[in-house]
Amino acid sequence: MFREKFGVLITAMVTPFNEDLSIDYKSLEKIINHLIQSGSTSILITGTTGENPTLTHEEEWELLKKTKEITQTIAGVNIPILFGAGSNCTKTAVEVSQKAEELGADGILSISPYYNKPNQEGISAHFAEIAKGVALPIALYNNPGRTCSSIEPETVYELNKSYPNIVAVKESSGSLDNFTWLSLKAPNIEIYCGDDNLILPSIAIGSHGAISVTSHIAGAEIRSIIDLVGNDKVKEAAKIHSKLFSLFKAVFSSPSPGPIKYALSQLGLCKPYMRLPLTEPATIVRDSLRQILTDLNLNSFSGLKSLV
């Protein structure tokens, strides 16, 4: 259900800003067109990479409206939009999810409650309220490194059994055990890898796709990895993975989305501006990214054709 709608490669899109830190809608149009042309099957907005903690709700609604307008009117395709609607306040998460549904989002990505660290019972109750509040398909987001609260695989399984619109999970725990457990014991849950360096092994053990950051600049190559592994061509996929490995590491070598915004700025797609408390990557990170982009011949929108 989820994969049929959103495809195998969802890019967790940055929110570009002008120098005054207002949303840069001209750059948004360029980025969306680039993502569509380079292999993204769907776009996630207002996620962590989209700096949602610093966006007002009014900005989130406008960003959803503009993204829909760009994809449907300007880009000429109806690419699905996944909306990051999580909160550590259950009431807020429900209200934001309902508003996103009202404005035409195609699905919801909902992160586990952060900071207040609920147990599995609390996490289940939180997601149950969201599932009862909207009809949209929901992908749970497990990222304990950021939230300090992990959604255990068994909890994902039970939620899917009880609420038919909880249909997917973005796994960013770094645990291949979680991928394996879900692929073996929760066949009705579609699993998306949220760690770019684990896309290849996660697909090999049963993941359905990836929600990626590096796909901003290497979408075609990541699509190739997913497709090749799915067709039992792991060695060919591994060659691309090895070439991209330094890029995967560099993109997450500083708090995200700093590195990927800097890389996009080098390609002329947006400026590297971020809202506090995030700051631009250190000089050593920027130098490393520029060198990697040069080494991979990734200096235009044409991508890494020589790697495929």
CATH code at 155? 3.20.20.70
Chain CA centroid to CA 87, Å: 16
* Contact call for residues 190 and 202 (beta carbons, < 8 A): no
Assess whether pLDDT exceeds 60 at residue 172.
yes
Domain that holds residue 101: 2-240
In a domain, 295, yes or no: no
In a domain, 126, yes or no: yes
By three-state DSSP, how is residue 110 classified? Answer: strand
Which amino acid, residue 144? P
Region 235-250: what's the mean pLDDT? 97
In a domain, 266, yes or no: no
Comparing CA positions, the residue from 176, 123, 186 lying closest to residue 149 is 123
135 band by pLDDT with thresholds 50, 70 and 90: very high
* Contact call for residues 169 and 208 (beta carbons, < 8 A): no
Comparing CA positions, the residue from 148, 143, 153, 149 lying closest to residue 252 is 143
Work out whether strand 209-212 and strand 166-171 pair parallel, antiparallel, or are unpaired.
unpaired
Assess whether pLDDT exceeds 60 at residue 303.
no
Chain CA centroid to CA 302, Å: 22
Work out whether strand 190-193 and strand 9-12 pair parallel, antiparallel, or are unpaired.
unpaired
Question: CA 32 to CA 228: how far, in whole Å?
Answer: 25
Assess whether pLDDT exceeds 70 at residue 304.
no
pLDDT at 294: 92
Structure tokens at 124: 């289940």
* pLDDT > 90 in the chain, percent: 92
pLDDT at 300: 56
Question: CA 52 to CA 84: how far, in whole Å?
Answer: 8
Assess whether pLDDT exceeds 90 at residue 80.
yes
In a domain, 252, yes or no: no
Q: Specify which residues 192 forms β-bridges with.
A: 170, 209
pLDDT at 234: 96
Structural domain count, the chain = 1
In the block, tokens 């497709």 appear at 227
Question: CA 59 to CA 99: how far, in whole Å?
Answer: 13
Chain CA centroid to CA 97, Å: 17
Assess whether pLDDT exceeds 70 at residue 301.
no
In the block, tokens 């009880």 appear at 162
Chain CA centroid to CA 41, Å: 12
Radius of gyration from C-alpha coordinates of the chain:
18
pLDDT at 299: 63
pLDDT at 306: 38
As annotated, the active-site residues are 141, 170
In a domain, 136, yes or no: yes
Region 61-67: what's the mean pLDDT? 97
- Interval 82-132: pLDDT, tens: 999 999 999 999 999 999 999 999 999 999 999 999 999 999 999 999 999
In a domain, 86, yes or no: yes
Which residues lie closer than 8 Å to 65 by C-beta, 6 or more apart? 103
Phi, psi of 242 (to 5 degrees): -65, -40
pLDDT at 75: 65
* Contact call for residues 278 and 286 (beta carbons, < 8 A): no
In a domain, 217, yes or no: yes
| 42-71 residues labelled b (16+ CB within 10 A) or e (exposed) | bbbbbbbbbbbeebeeeebbebbebbbebb
Which value, to the nearest 10 degrees, does the dihedral of the CA atoms of residues 182, 36, 102, 16 take?
Answer: 100
User: What mean pLDDT, rounded, does the chain reach?
Assistant: 94
In a domain, 304, yes or no: no
Show the DSSP H helices in the chain as ranges: 2-6, 25-37, 57-69, 90-102, 120-133, 144-147, 153-162, 176-185, 199-204, 215-230, 234-251, 258-266, 283-295
